[in-house]
Amino acid sequence: MANTLPFKNQSNQSYQEHQQEKYLPEILLIYAQAFSFPQKDFYEEINSGKLDREFKELWENANLPQLDSSEPWMERVPPYEEWIRIYNEAFLGAKKPLAPPIESLYKPWTVDESFQVPFKHQKGYLMGDSAQHILHITKTLGWEIPVEYQMMPDHLSILLEILARFLANGWWSEGKQFIQDHLDWLPDWCKELEELPVETEVYRKLAQDLEYLLAIIAKH
C-alpha cells in the first residue's frame, strides 16, 4: 500500500470527519453498485469516463491516500456483454462452482449448537447467523432490504450500503464494529474467486481496493 496512515491530514480532524462523512458513503455506494448485477446505465457511466472523474473527485475530497493500483474503472471493467457473462458464471451459477458475494456462504451457518440440521457448522448456505444479524440491524433501523436481496440480506452490496449509512450518520464506532463483524470474509471470497473457471479479475481487484478502503475506515 502506498500509505498506511488512515488519512492525509491528521491536524484538521473535524473538517476531516466532515469530509469523510460526506464522501466516503458515496465511494462505498459506488462499490455496492459494482458488486450488484451490472446495470447498463452504470456501465455507460464507467465507459464514458464519468465514473472515473467522479470517483477521483470523491477520493480526493475524502482525503484518502492514493490507491497503489489506481487503474481507471474504464480500463478495469470488461465490455458490457462480457461483464454480464462473468456475473452469470461467477455469481448466478452459470458455471460450477459459483462464488456469490454473500457473507453467509463463507462462514459456518450457525453458532447455535441446539440446531439439528446437519449443515449447522458448514459454510456454503444462505441465511446464516450473519444474515440474521443484518436483518436485525436493518429492521431496528427501519431500513428495508429490497425484494431481490431478501434471500441474501448479507450480500456485499447491502453490507456496503449499511456501512455507508453508518458513516453518513457519523456512527463511526458502529461502522468499525460492522467492518470487523461483517466484512472480514472478503479474503475468503477472493480465494474462491481465484478458483473459479471464469476470469474474475475485475471483481478481485475491486475487492482488494475495497479491503484497502475498509482498513482505512477501521483504523479511523
CA distance 156 to 154: 6
Sketch the per residue contact string, 159 through 178, with other proteins: x for CB under 8 A, - otherwise. Answer: --xx-xx--xxxx--x--xx
Lookup: cell for 106: 463463507
User: Is position 186 an interface residue for other proteins (rule: CB under 8 A)?
Assistant: no
Identified binder of other proteins from the candidate list 36, 189, 196, 214, rule CB under 8 A: 36
Lookup: cell for 92: 448466478
Residue 164 or residue 193: which is nearer to other proteins going by CB? 164
What is the biggest distance separating any 2 CA atoms in the chain, rounded to whole angstroms?
Answer: 55
Amino acid at 174: E
Nearest-CA neighbor of 66 among 1, 158, 21? 1
User: Is position 157 an interface residue for other proteins (rule: CB under 8 A)?
Assistant: yes
Report the site for other proteins in 88-117 (rule: CB under 8 A).
88, 92-98, 100, 102, 105, 109-117
Nearest-CA neighbor of 58 among 33, 22, 31? 22
Amino acid at 189: W
Identified binder of other proteins from the candidate list 42, 43, 106, 189, rule CB under 8 A: 42
Report the site for other proteins in 48-77 (rule: CB under 8 A).
none
Which residues share a beta bridge with 102? Answer: 155
In whole angstroms, what separates CA 186 from the centre of its chain? 8
Place of cell 454480464: 84
Please identify, among the stretches 4-12, 20-28, 65-73, 203-211, the one whose residues bind other proteins according to the rule CB under 8 A: 20-28
Residue 161 or residue 207: which is nearer to other proteins going by CB? 161
Least distance in angstroms from the C-beta of 43 to other proteins: 13
* Three-state secondary-structure class, residue 39: coil
Least distance in angstroms from the C-beta of 171 to other proteins: 7
Residue 149 or residue 212: which is nearer to other proteins going by CB? 149
Using CB under 8 A, count the residues that bind other proteins. 76
Task: Judge contact between 47 and 53, C-beta under 8 A.
Answer: no
Residue 59 or residue 109: which is nearer to other proteins going by CB? 109
